[in-house]
Amino acid sequence: MSEPPGATLAPEAPSAADEPSKPLAAQRVLPLRRPGRWMATAAVLVLVAQFAHGLVTNPFYQWDRWGYWFLRPSILDGLVITLEVTAYSAVLGLIGGILLALARLSKSPVLRAVSWTYVWALRSIPLIVVLLFLYNFSALYRTLSVGVPFGPAFFSFDESKLATDMVIAVVGLSLNEAAYAAEVVRGGILSVDQGQHEAAAALGLPKGYQFRRIVFPQALRSIIPNYVNQLIGLVKSTSLVFYVSLLDLFGTAQSMGSTYPGDIVPLLLVVTVWYLILTSVVSVIQFYVERYYARGATRSLPPTPWQRLRAGLTDLRARVRREAAV
């Protein structure tokens, strides 16, 4: 063997001409230079600057028209419809998803099969087809009635009165959403440790309590990120309700666009910015909800962005002071 590895790093190495006073062990290690990373960063910055410049200076975007449309009452009415459809479908879809997930996890083979088939069918059929089916539903079933199955009816409804455009949109989106939510919820429930079920059973906790207070809150930790993902998809899927003649945000912009053909691009930009805002709001809510359900799962809660910023500033100040002292 050649010389031991320690020899090349000997503390007395006569190298430190710049800092001769300090022993090697007291000196900071020089960080590795990464020129490739710097070049890639510069190239990306140039591209981003080009894009931003184009966005601002290209007259084709017509930002003045964007400003005109952004808070127009007709657009805001559309926004309210979008929010309503999203909210109802998100809640109904989640409830449906929980029921489907429980059916899928039940010991009854019939419930399992029905749940599986529902999820299979609704995930296979495009949402737009579901919506158009419902739109033409009154032609298939003229009245709906509540009564003994295959027997006499107690109440009946005229389907065309019951099925407003809003109801069709919410039902269609909820049916679709439930199929996806079912898988999200099922995955969450399966992610809870078997020991938790056993401990709850061994304590004799009532069945409903076991699910509501022990299993489901723990499942939520994995359900929330997946369901929010789903929810953001839903916010955008609501733009399809335009096809069942409900004027949501996108629908309003679309119809305004046919009235003012010159404003199509600024109208699309208005829609884009609103969807960006909606998604951002959902993401912020997601952060805090996730943080709430992380209680106990991690030893300490993750900091909020605000706390992280403050900690970062404190760190920076300490570092500057340290550097100044050296």
Partner 1 sequence: MSITDTLETAPAALEIHDVHKWYGAHRVLDGVDLTIRPGEVTVILGPSGSGKSTLLRVINHLEKPEIGYVSVNDELIGVKRQGERLKELSERAILAQRGRIGFVFQNFNLFPHLTVLDNVAAAPVATGKLTKPEAQALAKELLERVGLGERVGAYPRQLSGGQQQRVAIARALALRPGVILFDEPTSALDPELVGEVLSVIKDLATSGTTLVIVTHEIGFAREIADRVVFIDEGRIVEQGPPSEVLDKPRHERTRDFLSKVL
Q: Total number of residues binding partner 1 (CB under 8 A)?
A: 24
Question: Which segment (48-56, 94-102, 179-187, 205-213) binds partner 1 by CB under 8 A?
Answer: 205-213
Distances (CA, A) of 285 to 187, 207, 224, 231, 274: 22, 31, 11, 12, 17
Residue 89 in contact with residue 167, Cβ under 8 Å? no
d(CA 83, CA 230): 15
Under rule CB under 8 A, residue 198 binds partner 1 = yes
Under rule CB under 8 A, residue 40 binds partner 1 = no
Under rule CB under 8 A, residue 297 binds partner 1 = yes
Between residues 24 and 201, which has the closer beta carbon with respect to partner 1?
Answer: 201
Subset of 124-183 contacting partner 1 (CB under 8 A): none
Between residues 217 and 257, which has the closer beta carbon with respect to partner 1?
Answer: 217
For the stretch 131-137, contacts whose Cβ atoms lie closer than 8 Å and that sit 24 or more positions apart, written own/partner, are 131/168, 131/169, 131/172, 131/173, 131/240, 131/241, 131/243, 131/244, 132/243, 132/244, 134/163, 134/168, 134/171, 134/172, 134/244, 135/168, 135/243, 135/244, 137/163, 137/168
Smallest gap from Cβ 189 to partner 1, in A, equals 14
Smallest gap from Cβ 296 to partner 1, in A, equals 4
Between residues 158 and 193, which has the closer beta carbon with respect to partner 1?
Answer: 193
Q: Report the alpha-carbon angle 234-236-239, nearest 5.
A: 110
Between residues 211 and 242, which has the closer beta carbon with respect to partner 1?
Answer: 211
Question: Which segment (36-44, 135-143, 163-171, 188-196) binds partner 1 by CB under 8 A?
Answer: 188-196
Write the interaction track for partner 1 spanning residues 298-317; mark x where CB under 8 A is met and - where it is not.
xx------------------
Interface residue with partner 1 among 35, 149, 204, 261 (CB under 8 A) is: 204
Between residues 190 and 199, which has the closer beta carbon with respect to partner 1?
Answer: 199
Amino acid at 43: A
Under rule CB under 8 A, residue 199 binds partner 1 = yes
Smallest gap from Cβ 281 to partner 1, in A, equals 26
Subset of 212-231 contacting partner 1 (CB under 8 A): 213-214, 217-218
Interface residue with partner 1 among 202, 324, 325, 326 (CB under 8 A) is: 202
Under rule CB under 8 A, residue 293 binds partner 1 = yes
Reference 227, options 111, 91, 134, 133; nearest CA is 91
**Residue 252 in tokens:** 């309003």
Under rule CB under 8 A, residue 201 binds partner 1 = yes
User: What string of DSSP letters covers 134-199?
Assistant: HHTHHHH-SEEEEESTTS-EEEEEEHHHH--HHHHHHHHHHHHHHHHHHHHHHHHHHTS-HHHHHH
Smallest gap from Cβ 205 to partner 1, in A, equals 5
Smallest gap from Cβ 105 to partner 1, in A, equals 15
d(CA 127, CA 178): 12
d(CA 96, CA 77): 28
Reference 211, options 233, 237, 185; nearest CA is 185
Smallest gap from Cβ 301 to partner 1, in A, equals 10
Interface contacts to partner 1, rule CB under 8 A: 193, 195-196, 198-207, 209, 213-214, 217-218, 293, 295-299
